[in-house]
Structures are given as structure tokens and as C-alpha cells.
Homo-oligomer: A and B are copies of this chain.
């Protein structure tokens, strides 16, 4: 692999993407970040140069991956624009259309790995679906010339077994679904822990149940795996639960009621 990659950002996505690209033989050309210490640290791990100056980034990368928070993307694009000519610039956001780059960048796109990254965990990259899109312009500079979308597909399939071309307006849907199954699910775990803590019971006792809940949907649609008092229409049990919540943890009463009513309705 001879393609050089510049990564802008030093957070979890920058970190994990950078490591994975390096592992697969790509050259990480430069890490660019506002925080010099973090940029230097990540650059050292990846064997890359680093810079804190967006306006002076190196020009010789094939692709520039903007892995910063959503509200900083446009500002980054503005600042790097002067040094970007025919190179491809993508961002990694689930919610921001790649077209926000258009006023500043000629060849733009997105490169969205659908996963929750945290500093201490090493996800299995092979399984992470990567969703990409780019202006389908032919890159005449390269030898052989190729479409930017094909280029993104190629690098996506270098680091994962799953790559999907997906237009901007559909990516947000993935992100919403991800919020439900990841962020909201984690919040339900927090509630479980909190309810047990009130009674000096350890959260650990719920972990086999949590693991089994996931195991059951590996090969079955979640709709078919629904169980519990609401699914059974077991009103007596639901009323006991509401009564307990009302008396002990009323902050979860509304959520219990809403979820129960929706499951009852879809039963």
C-alpha cells in the first residue's frame, strides 16, 4: 500500500482508525490536532509527523480524514482548504452531511465506521461496517486514475470486511439507529445498576442476562425475541413494578410506562 493518509483529530476515532490503517500497511503521513501533546503522542504511536497548524498541513497525502467533533468539521475544512487541491477530504461523522465540505474542498466525502470507540477497548475491526460516499469524480491525477468512491471502498475493505456506499441523507439514519441500540441501551444498563444499588445488590448479577439478551438476537430478529411482562400482557406484574418504581425510583416511572405501553401495543 502506497497511499499516504493524513488524520485530523486526536480523539478515539482518530486513534483507532490510525492504528488500524498502520496495521494494514498504510503510511500515516501526518497527525494534525490542536493539542500538541496529544497530536505528538498519537503521531509517535503511528510513526507519523504531527502538526498543530491546520493551515500548514502537508500536501502529499492521498486522503485527509477529518475525525473531529461535528461542530468543528467546517472550521477544519476552511483552514486546510488552501493546501488541498485534488486530494480527497472525508469526515467520519454519522450526522453531518459530507456536503458541508463542498464550499471549501473540491473532492469530498465521508468515511463512517459504525462503532463506538473508547480509548481502552480494542474493537474487532474486521466486523465494523464502514459507510462511505464521495463525489463520484474521476481522479485524473492518480495512476491509474480512479473514482474517489472506488478509492474509499478500497481503503475501507483494507481495514474491514464490510464496506457500504451510502449517500449522505441515509447515514443519519444509521446514526439514529445506533443511538437507540448503543447509547440508549447503555442508559438502560445504568438504570439497572441504579435500581440494584438502591438495594445494595451488585450490578454483576445482571451481566449474564445482558449477555444472553444479545446472544439471542445473533441469529433471530429482535422482534421475535421479545419477552417480559409487557409482551405477555401481564398487567399484574406491570402494576407491581409501577408501584415499586413510584415509591423508590420515581425518576424511572415515565420511561417504564412508555416502553411498556409501546411493547403492549406491538405485541
Contact = CB atoms under 8 A, between A and B. Distances in A.
Interface centre among A203, A213, A241, A263, by most chain B C-beta atoms within 10 angstroms, is A213
A214 B216 contact: no
Interface residues of A, number: 87
Contact of A201 (B173, B206, B251): B173
Interface stretch (A80-88, A143-151, A221-229): A221-229
Contacts of A230: 183
Count of identical protomers in the assembly:
2
B70 A176 contact: no
A191 interface: yes
Interface string A189-224: 111110110110101011111111111111001110
Interface stretch (A18-26, A34-42, A115-123): A115-123
A44 interface: no
A241 B179 CA distance: 10
Interface stretch (A52-60, A103-111, A124-132): A124-132
Given A212-B115, A216-B118, A262-B255, A244 B173 contact: yes
